[in-house]
Structure 1
């Protein structure tokens, strides 16, 4: 690749890949292909349901017609992952950095929850598509008055992205397990109590005795509470970092 040439996946997401010069005018667009692929994945709740042949069938075109726009299924997944994450709402006026990042994290979770397959999209690099960059920009903007240097702002946001993405993937996998066998979750504390020897696992035994594993709310409520708890812990760390590194009123 020449120094001035964009990476292929970036050019594709930004619609900067040159269109075919020969042959008849295409009867479908790249946006048509991506929308059809997302619709299939949403209906099945599974990224594995998406194939070039199935997308072509939905669009009433041949598979070869798709390859005029998308070179591979991996390219299609890249496009889907950016398109599914719709542009964020702007930050509310005059919010502090913490409220702004909570708004951001909740928005990302809401966007991803519309697409159960999203957590299965491979992560191969930092955000580079237009929609992902819009979210990245929003989070960086929430830190604008913290006085943090730009490199530190990126570090804070990338850490938050890692937390949110990790929580999404774990939550989706656990939700699938709960749907398959809810009793295993509901009886988890009771099950552990029967096998855990306090002399061997003293700390785990204290947790069980405190009733931490008793499921007295819905799975969704538990998942939301876990997400919020972890988010607040992360932001507490960011607050301490800002106090140490940031410039007040900066």
Structure 2
């Protein structure tokens, strides 16, 4: 019995296979050889479509998210708020995204679609084109930073939940000298860290909402000044 020819593959097939590996085992498990093995192809066959692992990572980063949300209702603040929360949710679904090196400005079609979506939310404001880009880049930096923090803390919580209890507040009382760190000492004395669970999902979400509110209020103030 003759073996049939292997089905043809393309960069999209390779990217999907790599993402499946990262979803199941983490980004460290992704290599050209491992992807080829999962696809039943020779490693060199993949290089005809994806030139290097760096290129594969770039393709994975662009394909990690769904399409950007439709921003039809509300003013620019409402739209950017939805955009930011959807981006955060996308990163949480695939936290390995945060480990992919950022080697340049976005060129992937999916990434550019998200960029366009956020810029579109600012249509009708008096912001200059460069200011709109600055707003979107600042918001993206905020979301990525919050995502990195929560993902990292989640990993720490899973490894050692005890460090996220009121023991942390007790430890700070022992090491924070009011003469050297007066502002922090006041916060500690106020009992802010005296909680049984310092990593509750509701608290994490509320902190993100508060930070997002402050960011958008700052933009609103800037827009008010422009008018």
Matches within 5 A, 1:155-174: 155-174=134-153
Match of 1:11 in 2: none
Aligned equivalents of 2:192, 2:35: Cα separation in 1: 46
Match of 2:183 in 1: 203
Cα deviations by residue, 1:122-154 (Å, 9 ceiling, x for unpaired): 112222211111111111111101121111111
Matches within 5 A, 1:27-42: 27-42=8-23
RMSD, matched Cα: 1.7
Aligned equivalents of 2:48, 2:7: Cα separation in 1: 8
1:140 and 2:119 are equivalent in the alignment: yes
Aligned equivalents of 1:125, 1:86: Cα separation in 2: 21
1:109 and 2:85 are equivalent in the alignment: no
Aligned equivalents of 1:39, 1:68: Cα separation in 2: 21
Cα deviations by residue, 1:75-111 (Å, 9 ceiling, x for unpaired): 1000000001221121133x10100100100110111
Greater mean alpha carbon deviation, residues 96-105 or residues 160-169: 160-169
Q: TM-score, normalised by structure 2?
A: 0.91
Equivalences, count: 221
Aligned equivalents of 2:6, 2:101: Cα separation in 1: 33
SS of 1:198's equivalent in the other structure is coil
Kept in 1, the 8 Å contact 2:33–2:43? The answer is: yes
Q: TM-score, normalised by structure 1?
A: 0.83
Matches within 5 A, 1:225-244: 225-244=206-225
Kept in 2, the 8 Å contact 1:119–1:172? The answer is: no
Match of 1:181 in 2: 160
Could you tell me how far 1:169 is from its partner in structure 2? 1.4
Aligned equivalents of 2:101, 2:33: Cα separation in 1: 21
Q: Post-superposition, which runs of at least 4 consecutive aligned residues in structure 1 deviate over 4 A?
A: none
SS of 2:67's equivalent in the other structure is coil
Kept in 2, the 8 Å contact 1:91–1:100? The answer is: yes
Aligned equivalents of 1:136, 1:192: Cα separation in 2: 41
Cα deviations by residue, 1:15-51 (Å, 9 ceiling, x for unpaired): xxxxxxxxx997212111100100110111x211111
1:85 and 2:65 are equivalent in the alignment: yes
Match of 1:98 in 2: 77
After superposition, the Cα gap between the structure-2 partners of 1:216 and 1:104, relative to the gap in structure 1 and judged at 3 Å, is farther
Greater mean alpha carbon deviation, residues 197-206 or residues 27-36: 197-206
After superposition, the Cα gap between the structure-2 partners of 1:133 and 1:215, relative to the gap in structure 1 and judged at 3 Å, is farther
